[in-house]
Structure 1
Amino acid sequence: MKSFKPKDLETRKLHGLLLGAVGPRPIAFASTISKNGVPNLSPYSFFNVFSANPPIMIFSPARRVRNNTTKHTLRNCEETKEVVINIVNYAIVQQMSLSSTEYPDEVNEFEKSGLTMLDSDIVKPYRVKESPVQFECKVNEIVQLGKEGGAGNLIISEVVKLHISESVLDQNDTIDQYEIDQVARMGGSWYSRANRGMFEVPKPLAKLGIGVDQIPENIKNSCILTGNDLGKLGNVEALPKEPDIKDFLKRENLLEFIHYSYEDGLHQKAHDYLKGDDTFAAWCILLSKK
Structure 2
Amino acid sequence: MKTISPQDLNNVQLQTLLQTAIAPRPIALASTIDKDGNVNLSPFSFFNMFSTNPPVVIFSPSRRVRDNTTKHTLENVNQVAEVVIGIVNYSIVQQISLASTEYEKGVNEFVKAGLTMKEADLVKPKLIEECPVNLECKVLEIKSLGTEGGAGNLIICEIIKIHLREEYLNEEGNLDQKKLDLVARLGANWYSRNNENNLFEVPKPLATKGIGFDQLPEAIKYSKIFTGNDLGMLANVEQLPEGSFSADENTHSEARKFLSENKIEEAWKVLTV
Q: Distance in 2 between matches of 1:124 and 1:276?
A: 48
Alignment of 1:216 onto 2:217: yes
Q: Distance in 2 between matches of 1:173 and 1:241?
A: 43
Q: CA deviation at 1:242?
A: 4.1
1:117-170, CA deviations, whole angstroms, 9 ceiling, x for partnerless residues?
000011000010111100010000001011111000000001111101111111
Between stretches 269-278 and 150-159, larger displacement belongs to: 269-278
Question: TM-score normalized by structure 2?
Answer: 0.96
User: Residue 264 of structure 2 corresponds to which residue in structure 1?
Assistant: 279
Q: Distance in 1 between matches of 2:55 and 2:258?
A: 41
User: Residue 113 of structure 1 corresponds to which residue in structure 2?
Assistant: 113
Q: Distance in 1 between matches of 2:260 and 2:52?
A: 34
User: Residue 206 of structure 1 corresponds to which residue in structure 2?
Assistant: 207
Whose radius of gyration is greater, 1 or 2?
A: 1
Question: TM-score normalized by structure 1?
Answer: 0.91
Q: Would the aligned equivalents of 1:209 and 1:236 in 2 still touch at CA under 8 Å?
A: yes
Partner secondary structure for residue 206 of structure 1: coil
The percent of aligned pairs where both chains have the same amino acid is 57
User: Residue 32 of structure 1 corresponds to which residue in structure 2?
Assistant: 32
Q: Could you say which structure has the higher helix fraction?
A: 1
Partner secondary structure for residue 17 of structure 2: helix
Partner secondary structure for residue 102 of structure 2: coil
Q: CA deviation at 1:286?
A: 2.2
User: Residue 255 of structure 1 corresponds to which residue in structure 2?
Assistant: none
Partner secondary structure for residue 79 of structure 2: helix
Q: Would the aligned equivalents of 1:240 and 1:280 in 2 still touch at CA under 8 Å?
A: no
Q: CA deviation at 1:238?
A: 1.5
User: Residue 138 of structure 2 corresponds to which residue in structure 1?
Assistant: 138
Q: Distance in 2 between matches of 1:198 and 1:219?
A: 28
Q: Would the aligned equivalents of 1:58 and 1:154 in 2 still touch at CA under 8 Å?
A: yes
Alignment of 1:232 onto 2:230: no
Partner secondary structure for residue 270 of structure 1: helix
Q: CA deviation at 1:284?
A: 2.3
Alignment of 1:152 onto 2:152: yes
Gaps of 5+ in 2: none
Q: CA deviation at 1:240?
A: 2.0
Partner secondary structure for residue 239 of structure 1: coil
Opposite residue 100 of structure 1, the aligned amino acid is S
Give the RMSD, CA atoms, in angstroms. Answer: 1.4
Partner secondary structure for residue 209 of structure 1: coil
Gaps of 5+ in 1: 246-257
